[in-house]
Amino acid sequence: MAPSAIDDLLQVCREALRFEADLTVSQWADSHRVLSGKASAEPGPWRTDRTPYLREVMDCLSTTSPVQRVVLMAGAQLGKTEGGANWLGYVIDHAPGPMLMVQPTVDMAKRLSKQRLESLISDTPVLSEKIAPARSRDSGNTMFSKEFPGGMMILTGANSATGLRSTPCRYIFLDEVDAFPGDVDGEGDPVTLAERRSTTFSRRKIFMTSTPTVKDFSRIEAEYLLSDQRRFFVPCPCCSGMQWLKWTQLKYQDNDPSTAQYECEVCGERFSENHKTGMLQAGEWRATAPGDGKTAGFHINSLYSPLGWKSWHEVVEDFLRAKGDAPRLKTWVNTVLGETWEEDYASKVSADGLLERCEHFEPAVIPENGLALTVGVDVQDNRLAVSVWAWGRDEEGWLLDHQEIYGDPSRQELWKQLDEVALREWPHVLGGKLRPDVVAIDSGGHFTAEVYQYARERGRQGVIAIKGQSQRGKPPIGKPNKVDINAKGQTLKRGAQVWPVGSDTAKTTLFGRLKHNEPGPGYLHFHMQTTSEYFEQLTAEKQVLRTNRNGFPVREWVLPASKRNEALDCLVYAYAALNRMYQRYDRRTMWDQLEKRLEAAGKKKKPLRSKQQTPTGATGFVSNW
Ligand SMILES: [Zn+2]
């Protein structure tokens, strides 16, 4: 053999050796991975070219990459599960070491082991050579652990603290982290517990993946936001402008999904899906944030799903089917856009929307179907906010009046002014007059003693002191507590009573009703003079998700700083006052009695609406707690 030929051969050998040493996960998968017909829609040898966006995700998991943590936030049908499986194969075959694979629950770990791992191993020859079948005795291959030369893989669930406390591991795979519990067996966050297993390894790898869930509660989003926030940029087929694909750019006409086209953000041209394969080939990940230097974060949505998987047509079709139905829309946002769901979308009632539905009825006059009056009073340091509400059958409500009475609540004058609103007679549009049945005043502020005194002196006129409770699941109004000592520590001659008000329950009920757009049971009416400031206050609070002590998400009403919400508090108290009436009347016949009350006074000139009952479920009478 000529010396040059020997040199050439040596060169080939050197390259082969270096290639082996520098092998990445995607190269390993392209050489060795085989997809089975059972587990995959496209059986046969793995081709990274089919899902080009997974290449860099996988290669950050290669031992050659300096990245320590890889975060993948993604929608469905993008191949992320197989990308993770490729990493497992790479570790077993090429870079063995101890590995921990965590699923949301132990049951899910069992299912993954049986269904996916078994086929990953049996269909990929280089892997089945290294791991004995689970059936054979002493094979080192069980449901929850797989031994291989130079390493071992342990499977567990995020709900098992014991499993997470296993031996130190160089590789940690945390799958579907948004489904992990907040706390595991009282030992804290399962992600922290699992990650702690890897701290002794300087060249560790942590792979975290999930479809996101709810905003402010999503782990994967929190991790992504701490990362360098990579997006997959692809060139426009018309102008070559690089951009990442967004739902807002997908256009369609006349609610027809088959018209779906993508509108380039750079040149404005629209193009169809058949350009996708070329665009994905030419795509590249670009960081959009500095990150911490060790974490690579990837976000990708289903608009990137390769041709033949999920089409733009289907994305639009799914959206049209889900819009208008909050739970389905949430699933669509999570699994198609790969984004978190803002709980606000579901709970927000806009001030503008309410302003638009104001009606032509006379303020300060009880409308035709109004049978009872209640008043809610919120006590501030320099004023009282007062709302007067009329109520009819099925808790249909009308705002008669809302005002602020300025003054010092520690002085008598202010409370005398309140008498003029809360204790006066209000005219009925059919003739006659009604006084408020119950007046509920908040005693929770700085003027507890004054509120107690006012309520005690006017108890016969239906005035009660109340105190809001934020705990979930409390009735709108509970049983009164006796309070014999006032805020100054003085004993009162005749003890006052305070009614607890379940503010959280009342707000949830009332916000549900503010979302109603059809007058009828539970509908809340506003007259044309209602101001935009009133509606701003009414809608100032929003529901957010918080984690409770046990790590479970709970919804909570929160008032953003610098916002006022007296109008909402007054409505909550007026509604609690209406519920106080149910304690005094027989609830089954209350509205009949109230109608007779109006008739008996001889003030009624024409018959009221007949007392037909709405079907169960539609009435406000159905217990809300
Ligand atoms: Zn373009």
**269 CA distance to ligand 1 middle (Å):** 6
**272 CA distance to ligand 1 middle (Å):** 12
**313 CA distance to ligand 1 middle (Å):** 21
Beta strand extents in 18-150 (DSSP E only):
34-35, 44-45, 69-74, 98-103, 145-148
Length of the chain: 625
d(CA 121, CA 130): 9
**80 CA distance to ligand 1 middle (Å):** 28
**242 CA distance to ligand 1 middle (Å):** 8
Per-residue pLDDT at 493: 61
The three-state secondary structure class of 209 is strand
**281 CA distance to ligand 1 middle (Å):** 17
**248 CA distance to ligand 1 middle (Å):** 15
**198 CA distance to ligand 1 middle (Å):** 45
Neighbours of 446 (CB within 10 A): 12
Q: Does 19 have pLDDT greater than 90? A: no
What's the whole-model pTM score?
A: 0.61
The residue to which tokens 């907040």 are assigned: 182
pLDDT per residue over 278-327, tens digit each? 999 999 999 999 999 899 999 999 999 999 999 999 999 999 988 767 67
pLDDT per residue over 449-477, tens digit each? 999 999 999 999 999 999 998 777 789 99
- Given pLDDT bands bounded at 50, 70 and 90, which one contains residue 233? very high
**264 CA distance to ligand 1 middle (Å):** 5
Q: Is the CB of residue 127 less than 8 Å from the CB of residue 120? A: yes
Per-residue pLDDT at 614: 37
**258 CA distance to ligand 1 middle (Å):** 21
Neighbours of 509 (CB within 10 A): 19
**247 CA distance to ligand 1 middle (Å):** 16
pLDDT per residue over 88-116, tens digit each? 999 999 999 999 999 999 999 999 998 88
**524 CA distance to ligand 1 middle (Å):** 49
Q: What is the mean pLDDT of residues 121-149?
A: 85
Number of helices followed by number of strands (H, E) in the chain: 21, 27
**270 CA distance to ligand 1 middle (Å):** 8
**284 CA distance to ligand 1 middle (Å):** 17
Alpha-helix runs per DSSP H in 470-531: 503-514
User: CB under 8 Å to 581, separation ≥6 — which residues?
Assistant: 372, 374, 437, 438, 590
**401 CA distance to ligand 1 middle (Å):** 56
Burial class (CB in 10 A: 0-12, 13-18, 19+), 156: buried
d(CA 98, CA 200): 12
Per-residue pLDDT at 615: 36
**470 CA distance to ligand 1 middle (Å):** 53
**235 CA distance to ligand 1 middle (Å):** 8
**311 CA distance to ligand 1 middle (Å):** 20
Q: Does 9 have pLDDT greater than 80? A: no
pLDDT per residue over 407-448, tens digit each? 999 999 999 999 999 999 999 998 889 999 999 999 998 999
The residue to which tokens 């587990």 are assigned: 39
